[in-house]
Amino acid sequence: YYTAWAGCSLYIQDFYIEPDYRHRGIGSSLLSAVAELAQQRNSVFVELMVSANNPSRRLYRRLGFERVKHAMMY
């Protein structure tokens, strides 16, 4: 639960697709299922922690993930 956003969220940790299975839509399908679950639970957002140099950030942006403005992780 996040008091600053007044609601619960879903948190994804260690999202990984084996290299032989990438570029087949598996990651997109899994993340879409998570987004659907978040909507069903009225979650204010889905949290996905990722390294700044992770090339998968392109996929996340394409699927609608955005950086949370005014928030910093320490």
Catalytic residues: 60
CB 35 within 8 A of CB 46: yes
As a whole number of angstroms, the distance between CA 44 and CA 55 comes to 26
